Structure 1
Amino acid sequence: MKQYIVDAFTDHVFAGNQAAVCVMDDWLDEKTMINIAIENRFSETAFTVKEGDAYHLRWFTPGGEIDLCGHATLATGYVLLRFYETEADAVEFKTLSGKLTVTRKGELLEMDFPAYELKEVPVTDEMAEAIGARPLAAYMGRDLLCIMDSEKTVREKTPDMEKSLKLPGLLLHTTAQSRNFDCVSRSFAPKLSIDEDPVCGSGHCHIVPYWAQKLGKEDIKAFQASKRTGVLYCHMAGKRLKMAGQAALFSKGELFGLKVTSS
């Protein structure tokens, strides 16, 4: 079985967010897919099988399956358009979050994602203690989004992972307005056995809707301030989010000793 390792939301290796992409003829059982994700130790491993004109896509963290992942979708689209669907302008995916597409846009690959509806929630002492600084405001979608007072705070404050486990939401995102970009953010996922997600696409399905409304603009250039860093070019289109970036291939190889199922 072919496995590719791709750095997403960057134009060069050793930056952006790593994803493993497994392109299969038939599905592996779920336990095996989780074991592969644990073995890879990336924030996400993507598994895809072609079904008709589209591809069925699933994402696994070392902690289990997740309902939406941006960087691994970008990485999978990059692999399929480069090696499997070389004449196509786009690939379509069937996922737990509905239909997703990855489309060539010059040097970028653009994804069409759902935007999370955000509900403002009270800032709590638990949030402040976990982050190490008190948010100005907090919002809930799938994840917890905390608005911080400055770019400096976002860059310098790495939350306490044990305390973060007790916060609501699947992931924790901290964000602020940026000098060189529209916004800066960091993403943390201890509930998925990931301390910091280097560049989180699904997190920006929370982050970008907030800043688009706050700044009164549809186009948002976002920077993720992890050690690896990453840049996302985003456009709000109603309740959908167009999210674009580049990708770089690190390796391709073969996985052995795996038993596929016909289901």
Structure 2
Amino acid sequence: MRLYTVDSFSDRPFRGNPAGVCLLDTPAPDEWMQAVAAEMRHSETAFVLDQDGGPRSLRWFTPTVEVALCGHATLATAHVLYSLGASGRLEFSTLSGVLTTDQAGDQAGDGLITMDFPASRPTEAQAPEGLVESLGVKPLWVGRSQFDFLVEVENADVVRSLTPDLDLLSTVETRGVMVTAPGDDGEADFVSRFFGPRAGVPEDPVTGSAHCVLSPYWSERFGRDTLVGAQLSERGGIVRTTLRGDRVELAGRAVTIWSGNLTVPLP
């Protein structure tokens, strides 16, 4: 089976968020996919399988757990398929329903890839014990989405300088925590960072699924449906968002770093 590492939400190598992509020949046991993801050590590894007469099956695993939604590994998967000759609209059957991707540009792999994801509007919530203490910030607003907590802070510098206590944060019952503020460089409308130690991801470089929450949150604040988000991790990345009712269009580029053959057979 073919195995890839792709840097998502970047047009340059060694930036953005690396994801593994495994092109399955046949269905694989969950334990085997989890073991491959642990070996890859990326925040997520995607496993995609062609299915006759329907959307491709797509699943995502962190080094420790399966997740129900992952943007950057979906972008990586679409990038690989487009580079292998796929074109137009692609459909994927996932734990979050059917997700679609499309590609702009004239040549496979050269254009911006767009993804149609469900919007997840956060609702105001009381910060659970350990959340604020682990981040070491004074939140302006705390909310909860389907999977994560959202914490708005005063400005982008606070987001940049965060040094959370990840051990304490891992005691908070949530997939992850996004910390966000308005942008300050004239290019990004908002900035964020994402921490998910409880899911085996101490800090995620660029988190597509978080932007399913950040898009409706900041679109309501700014009164605009189309925004640019910058994730301020060490690697960094850009996610372009367009809110369309209860859906969010996420757009970004990706770069293949390496590809090879996975020689470990299925059990």
TM-score (norm 1): 0.95
Q: Which residue of 1 aligns with 2:58?
A: 57
Q: Any idea what SS the aligned residue of 1:51 has?
A: coil
1:161-198 deviation per Cα after TM superposition (whole angstroms, max 9, x unaligned): 11112324211100000123100000001011111000
Give runs of aligned pairs for residues 60-209 of structure 1, distance below 5 A: 60-85=61-86, 88-106=87-105, 107-123=111-127, 126-141=130-145, 142-180=147-185, 181-209=188-216
For 2:58 and 2:230, locate their aligned partners in 1 and report how far apart those are by CA, in whole Å: 26
Opposite residue 18 of structure 1, the aligned amino acid is P
Secondary structure of the 1:139 match is strand
For residue 159 of structure 2, what is the amino acid of its counterpart? V
Distance change in 2, residues 1:64/1:232 (3 Å): same
Give the superposition deviation at 1:54: 2.0
Q: Which amino acid in structure 2 is aligned with residue 62 of structure 1?
A: P
Per-residue deviation, residues 133-152 of structure 1 (Å, max 9, x unmatched)? 11111110120000011100
Query: Is 1:29–2:36 an aligned residue pair?
Result: no
Alignment equivalent of 1:232, drawn from 226, 239, 257: 239
Q: Does 1:11 align with 2:11?
A: yes
Corresponding pairs, count: 258
Between 1:76-85 and 1:193-202, the stretch displaced more is 76-85
The structure in which a higher percent of residues are strand is 1
Runs of at least 5 residues in structure 2 that lack an aligned partner in the other structure: 106-110
Offset at residue 124 of structure 1 (A): 5.8
What displacement does 1:105 show? Answer: 2.1
| TM superposition shift of 1:132 | 1.1
Give yes or no for contact 1:81–1:90 (8 Å, CA) kept in 2.
no
**What displacement does 1:103 show?**
0.2
- Give, in whole Å, the separation in 1 of the partners of 2:127 and 2:92: 37
Deviation, 1:64, is 1.2
Per the normalisation by structure 2, the TM-score is: 0.94
Residue 90 of structure 1 and its aligned partner are, at CA, apart by: 1.9
Q: Give RMSD over aligned pairs.
A: 1.2
Q: Which amino acid aligns with 1:24?
A: L
State the distance in 2 between where 1:121 and 1:50 align: 40
- CA-to-partner distance for each residue in 1:108-147, whole Å, 9 max, x for gaps? 0000000113110124673321101111111101200000
Structure 2 CA distance, aligned partners of 1:159 and 1:144? 14
State how far apart, in whole Å, the 2-side matches of 1:127 and 1:245 are.
Answer: 30
Q: Distance in 1 between matches of 2:96 and 2:85?
A: 23
1:210-237 deviation line (CA, Å, top 9, x unaligned)? 1011111100100000000000111000
Question: How many percent identity over aligned positions?
Answer: 38
Matched, 1:221 2:228: yes
**Distance in 2 between the 1:102 and 1:84 partners?**
14
Runs of at least 4 residues of structure 1 off by over 6 A?
A: none
Rounded to whole Å, the distance in 1 between the matches of 2:40 and 2:20 is 7
SS where residue 251 of structure 2 aligns? strand
